[in-house]
Amino acid sequence: MDAALFTADLLAKPQALTDLAAHLRSGNPWNGALPDTINRVIFVGMGSSHYAASVAAARIRAGGGIAVAELASSDLLPASRPHDVVIAVSAGGGSVETHSAVEHYRGKAPIVLLTNKPESDLAQSVDSVIDVRAGVEAGGVACRSFQHTLVLLMALEQHLLGGGRDLANLVTATATATSELIDSRDTWLPQIGGLLRGPQGTHIVAPARRFASAQQSALMLREGPRVPAVGCETGDWSHVDVYLTKSTDYRMLLLAGSRWEPELLRWCSERGSTVVAIGADVPGAASTLRYSGDGDDDVRLLTETLVAELVAAIWW
């Protein structure tokens, strides 16, 4: 992995998104890649692939479909049933755990791979392949591919459930927001980077519907600069992370938008914790960062991890 190349990968996000929007205008990528009859979707993957799939599965369930997302390494993978389809998610196509999960389901259900490496060995062994089209990530970190994976999983949601918004327009709006954050980074990044770097690490908090953003943001800080970082869901924070505000110099990146924020903010205020808010004006925040389209929850989902990614790049 390389810090300078990672930064270059991040700066290439707006153009990659613009190209993806153009691809989406030609039709839904999942058309023809899946069986006509699907009862349940089983997602398998590791790391950021699992984070994205978990949000996708929750969105499909919320829309009335049946979907589960499992770590490919699990010894308790769901038993296959008639008309199930397995979607393996692997940015690089090289995860040994995902290979193992694919072998577990081989011959039991159709298997589709969602990947940024359609030329990988894993891609040659499944029934069909969906390319997330994020391009080569020379820095060695799955940053653009995570963002593109979320988009392609939204396209899957529409394929399964019907309806939904114009994804090409959503991706174009995300490209605009991403470009704005990149172009303005000299005005906000030094301050936010300084506020978030605590002696006991950084905590990233997001609503359940965007929990992947917290998990991926924490991973970027661990994977690049190798600093302690963890992700938490906003409501659950008051049950699992609140205790650390009493005994540590607690630094939080709050990805805003949860109805459970008031309790979190009360504890942080009473205990003098540092909160940096992204995507909304939050009472008591030490710093707030807004960007175009941040009132749209899907734009938030596709954009907000860039903040931690850019922080990771300067800490690396």
Coil/strand/helix, residue 84: strand
How would you class 8 by CB atoms within 10 Å of its CB: exposed for 0-12, middle for 13-18, buried for 19 or more?
middle
Helix (H) or strand (E) holding 47: helix 47-62
In Å, how far from its chain's centre is CA 122? Answer: 22
pTM equals 0.97
> 121 and 42 in one domain?
yes
Task: Give the confidence band of 114 by pLDDT, cuts at 50, 70, 90.
Answer: very high
Listed in sequence order, the DSSP H helices in 63-130 are 96-105
> 130 and 278 in one domain?
no
> Count of alpha carbons within 13 Å of 311, Cβ hemisphere only?
27
Listed in sequence order, the DSSP H helices in 197-281 are 211-223, 234-240, 244-247, 261-270
Residue 228: inside a domain: yes
> 196 and 122 in one domain?
no
Type of residue numbered 100? S
pLDDT at 1 over 90: no
> 156 and 249 in one domain?
no
> 188 and 167 in one domain?
no
CA dist 61 and 173 (Å) reads: 26
> 302 and 160 in one domain?
no
In Å, how far from its chain's centre is CA 254? Answer: 15
pLDDT at 70 over 90: yes
Coil/strand/helix, residue 289: strand
Question: Is 254 within 8 Å of 205 (Cβ atoms)?
Answer: yes
Instruction: State what percent of residues in the chain have pLDDT above 70.
Output: 100
| Domain boundary, last residue among 143, 171, 199 | 171
Residue range 107-125: average pLDDT?
96
42 DSSP β-pair partners: 68, 86
Which strands, in side-by-side order, build the sheet including 67-71? 67-71, 40-45, 84-90, 111-115, 128-131
> 148 and 216 in one domain?
no
Which residue reads 């890649």 in tokens? 33
| Domain boundary, last residue among 122, 148, 171 | 171
Show the domain range for 289: 184-315
Report CA Rg, the chain.
19
- What CATH number did the domain enclosing 260 receive? 3.40.50.10490
Residue 177: inside a domain: no
| Domain boundary, last residue among 128, 148, 171 | 171
> 217 and 160 in one domain?
no
> 156 and 31 in one domain?
yes
Which residue reads 């991706």 in tokens? 171
Could you give the number of structural domains in the chain?
A: 2
Residue 271: inside a domain: yes
Residue range 271-300: average pLDDT?
98
pLDDT recorded at residue 94: 87
> 248 and 145 in one domain?
no
